[in-house]
Amino acid sequence: MEEPQTGGVSLVAALMGAGHVHGNGEDKLIDGWARLSHDTTMRATVIGVGIATLFTLLGVILLWPTGEGRDEAIAAGRQLGIVTERLSATVDDESLVECSYSTPDDIQFCRQITFIVNEGPEAGALVAIPPINARFDSSIPPLEAGDEVILGFEASTNNYFFADFDRRGSLVWLALLFAVFVIALSRVRGVLALVSMVTTIVVLLGFVAPSVLDGNDPLLVCIVAAAAIAITSLTLTHGLSPSTTVALAGTLAALVLTLGLSYVFWELTSITGLGTDEALLIPYLSVELDLSKLLLGGAIIGALGALDDVTVTQAATITEMRRREPTASTGSLITSGIAVGREHIAATVNTLLLAYAGASMPLLLLFSISDQSFDMVANAELIAVEIVRTLCGSIGLVAAVPLTTVLAAVATSGTVTHGLPVKDRIDADPAPPAGSPPNTAQPPRWEDFAPEDGEFD
C-alpha cells in the first residue's frame, strides 16, 4: 500500500496530536537523546550546559554560607535596635484620652491602645504601648478590638510597640488557593512548578542572603544563584529533555549578555547602591558589603524570570514545528520561530517595566510632586537603577529569541523520522478506506486565519 502523504496535516490531527507530542512522541519524532551520537550541535549544547552546571555546583559549594556573617549582622542589628522580637497579639481596646503634655491653651488627645499577647513569656498578659498623638502621629493605622496584630518587644527597654497587622493566615490561604489553581490546570507539571518555586525561595533566602553576609562577592553569589535557579527550575518544571536543554542554553547565554551590559552601564551611570534608606543602614550591619554589586546581582536575578519564559517558549515552538514538518529547512524554522518570538517579546519587554514601576508607586508619586523635569527625575539613582535594570534586561530578552531559536532549529535539523512507522508519526493522516474518493482537502494555512486586505483600515 502506498504511504499516505505527510505534507497535509489536518487541523484536527494537529490538535489531537498535541497531547502526543510531549509524551512518547518526543523520543520518536526527534530521536531524543540518541541524537547525541551523531548531532554535533546537540552534543555541543549538552556539553556546554553540563559544564555550566558543574561550575554552578562548584560555585554553590565554594560560596556556601557558614552563617557567621549572618550571626554577626543579627548581633549588630540588636545593638542598633533594629532586630527585635516579634509576637502575635490581639487588640483589646483603643480609647482617646487627653495627652499628659496637653495644656488648657493647647489641648491634645492621644490614642491609648492595649493588647493581649498571644505568645512568648507573657502570653495572655494585657499590655499597653506608649500613647500616640492623634493629631501628629499617623504611623499606626486605626485599630479595633479583636484585630490580630504583631507586636515588637524591645528587651533593653522592656517595651512593646506596634509592628504590623498579622496577615499570615490570609497569606497561607492565598498560597493554598494558588496551589490548587496551578495543580488543577497543570496537574503533575503544576506540582513540579510549585516545587521549583519553593526551590527558588530556598536559594534566595538560604544561599544568597547568608552568603553575601559572609563577605562573599555579591555579584558572584547572585550569578551562581541565577544559574542554579535556571537549571533547577527548568529541569524540574519541564523535565530533562533536549528541548529543555536548548532552552537552558539560551537562558544562560542571554544571562551572560544581560550581565555584561548591566555591568558596563552600572559603571557608566555611577550606581553606588546608596539611594535607599535600607542601603544606608546595611553598611552598619555588614561593613564589607558592596551595595553596588548587590544591586547589580539583583538585576540579573530579576531578569531571569522573564528569560526562562521566552527561551522555553521558543525551544518548544521550534521543536513542535519540526515535528509537524520534519522536512522544513533550518532557515524556514528560524524565520517562523523569530516571527513567533517577536510577538512574545512585544508583550514581555513591557513586563519588566511594569514589574519595577509597580513596586515603586509611592516613590513615583513623590517624584511627581517634586516639580522636577523628567530628565532630572530619571537622573536620581533610585530611578536610574530601575531604568538600567529594565533596559539591560529587555535587551537580554530580545537577544534570547534569536539565540534560542537558532540553537533549537540547528539542533533539530538532523531529526530522523523516515524510519518510523506511519502510525507513530503525528504528521501523517490515516490512510483512506479502500474505494473511497481521494482526499483533496488542503492543509490549513496562516493566510486562512489572517484578516482580509483593508479589513482593519
What total of structural domains would you count in the chain?
2
Are 162 and 180 in contact, with CB atoms under 8 Å apart? no
Q: Is the domain of 98 the same as that of 197?
A: no
Asked if residue 302 is part of any domain, the answer here is: yes
C-alpha closest to that of 381 among 263, 261, 266, 239: 266
Q: Which residue's entry shows cell 503533575?
A: 188
Q: What is the distance between the alpha carbons of residues 395 and 401, in angstroms, rounded to a whole number?
A: 10
Whether residue 440 is contained in a domain is answered as: no
Distance CA 222, CA 283 (A): 19
Please report, for the domain that includes residue 145, its CATH number.
2.40.50
Q: Are residues 202 and 240 in the same domain?
A: yes
Same domain, 108 and 184: no
Residue 237: inside a domain = yes
Question: Which among 303, 160, 313 has a CA at the least distance from the CA of 238?
Answer: 313
Specify whether 104 is located in the same domain as 185. no
The reply to whether 316 and 242 lie within a common domain is yes
Contact call for residues 161 and 145 (beta carbons, < 8 A): no
Q: Are residues 146 and 178 in the same domain?
A: no
- Boundary-marking domain end, from 165, 196, 227: 165
Whether the Cβ atoms of residue 333 and residue 322 lie closer than 8 Å to each other:
yes
Domain final residue pick, 165, 183, 215: 165
- Is residue 35 a part of any domain in this protein? yes
C-alpha cell at 187: 496537574
- Residue 417 pLDDT grade (very low, low, confident, very high; cuts 50, 70, 90): very low
* Tens-place pLDDT, residues 367-390: 777 777 777 877 888 788 888 888
Assess if residue 7 is contained within a domain.
Answer: no
Looking at the domain assignment, is residue 11 inside a domain?
A: no
224 shares a domain with 348: yes
CA–CA distances in Å: residue 156 to residues 21, 81, 85: 65, 9, 11
Q: What band does 429 get if pLDDT is binned at 50, 70 and 90?
A: very low
Q: Is residue 277 part of a domain?
A: yes
Does one domain contain both 322 and 187?
Answer: yes
Same domain for 55 and 178?
yes
Residues 199 and 329 in one domain: yes
Co-location of 161 and 181 in the same domain:
no
144-196 pLDDT, tens per residue? 999 999 999 887 778 899 999 999 999 999 999 999 999 998 888 889 889 99
Among 245, 231, 240, which residue's Cα sits nearest to residue 39? 245
Residues 56 and 106 in one domain: no
Of 140, 165, 190, the one marking the end of a domain is 165
Q: Where in the sequence is the domain holding 387, given as residue range(s)?
A: 29-65+169-411
Average pLDDT, the chain: 78
116 pLDDT more than 90: yes
Q: Where are the beta strands (DSSP E) in 156-213?
A: 159-165
